[in-house]
Structure 1
Amino acid sequence: MRFQLVLVAALLLAGCAAAPAQPVPAPAATGKLYNDTDVMFAQMMVAHHAQALEMVRLAATKSVREDVRTLAAAIDVTEADETKTMQVWLQTWGQPPTAAADAHTGHGGAHGTNADDIAALATYDGPQFEQRFLNMLVAHQHNAVEIARLETSSGVNPGALDLAKRITDSRTAEIQQMLRYLETP
């Protein structure tokens, strides 16, 4: 019994040591449980996801390899669901669904994929499409990880922090998977 109490105490202390540097404000103290970083994260990520969805939906008809189509379909489902969640947050927080075009320049801009590049991607088929798609999506998902890390560095909303961690983990795994696909055509 004493060993279990010591173990629980050690786990609790370990959790406290890993806590964010900025405390999460209580809703009663601030009237809200989000900050500007949470809003920025959701606004940037909604726009970012829209671009990813545009790219992965091309793979359904333009890709030859089943594994590439399967990955694209999984990304489609995941990012469409995440987008809905973030749109609800923004609405609940009374924030616009998107920010002004220059609102995020102070921290590196929108971290998106060039619309012309996405349009050019749509002109390819088969192996040429797959190579360009995988390379573009690797870079795109890397940008998603960067946006998520901005959130985990100074966001306060528990849901947004959780989503940012999941995005970091899942997109990093997707990048590794796509790099393997690029090695074995």
Structure 2
Amino acid sequence: MKRIALVLAAFLLAGCAAAPAQPAPAGTEHRVFNDTDVMFSQMMVAHHGQALEMVRLARSKAEREDVRTLAAAIDVTETDELKTMQVWLDTWGQPPAADASAHAGHGGAHGTNPDDLKALQAASGRDFETKFLNLLIAHQHNAIEIARMETGTGVNPGALDLAKRIDESRTAEIQQMLRFLNPPA
């Protein structure tokens, strides 16, 4: 009964007229999904690709050990999340990723600007760290927004769980990066 209520609520509340969950035979609940779950996964696949590009730069270009450690942790976490979402999309018979702008009409968050990524690649030393932290703070804020879209109208239990974890972990990462930018006196 709870699942029926969630599906109905997702359908009624979705801004994009999300389809109700696909019927799933017993034991295949991981295949229950709606348009929001698909959009969340596709957008996050593209989003994670950009984050991985940034953190891999930081692992070699950042001067501070704490910044390199954070980048390494994000690399491991987001690589694992990326693989999970790619498996879901494949299982659901959906394209592996979508251009971030493809969902702009659905309230989709914008990706990181390619010019900002180029400027980050060209930076070095403390300038790199400042650019990296500021860019990643904004990028992770977008991840939180995408995750909250999922928790608002998604129905897939795995996607909902991942979205909650993304919201919590990226919020903590932002707080940590703000401390890196503004250390206590």
Could you tell me the TM-score, scaled by structure 1's length? 0.83
Match of 2:24 among 24, 27, 30: 27
DSSP-derived class of the 1:95 partner: coil
Contact 2:62/2:129 (<8 A) preserved: yes
Query: Which segments of 5 or more consecutive residues in structure 2 lack a partner in the other structure?
Result: 11-19
Partner Cα distance (1:90, 1:79) in 2? 16
Q: 1:101 to 1:81 in 2, by over 3 A?
A: closer
Report the alpha carbon displacement of residue 100 of structure 1 after superposing the two structures with TM. 5.5
- Number of residue pairs matched? 167
Runs of 4+ in 1 over 6 A off after TM superposition: none
Partner Cα distance (1:66, 1:148) in 2? 29
DSSP-derived class of the 2:160 partner: helix
* Aligned AA (2:46): A
- CA shift digits 1:81-134 (9 cap, x unpaired): 000000000000000012366530212344210111111101111100000000
Contact 2:46/2:98 (<8 A) preserved: no
Contact 2:41/2:85 (<8 A) preserved: yes
Which residue of 2 is the match for residue 128 of structure 1?
127
**Correspondence 1:85 to 2:80:** no
Partner Cα distance (2:179, 2:98) in 1? 36
Report the alpha carbon displacement of residue 63 of structure 1 after superposing the two structures with TM. 0.6
Q: 1:95 to 1:172 in 2, by over 3 A?
A: same
DSSP-derived class of the 2:96 partner: coil
Pairing 1:55-94 to 2, within 5 Å after superposition: 55-94=54-93
What's the C-alpha RMSD, in Å, of the aligned pairs?
A: 2.3
Contact 2:33/2:156 (<8 A) preserved: yes
**Correspondence 1:175 to 2:174:** yes
Partner Cα distance (2:68, 2:79) in 1? 16
Structure number with greater Rg is 1
Contact 1:49/1:79 (<8 A) preserved: yes
Contact 1:60/1:69 (<8 A) preserved: yes
Which residue of 2 is the match for residue 145 of structure 1?
144
* Aligned AA (2:41): A
Q: Percent identity of the aligned residues?
A: 71
Query: Which segments of 5 or more consecutive residues in structure 1 lack a partner in the other structure?
Result: 1-15
Contact 2:45/2:85 (<8 A) preserved: yes
- CA shift digits 1:147-166 (9 cap, x unpaired): 00000000000000000000
Which residue of 1 is the match for residue 13 of structure 2?
none
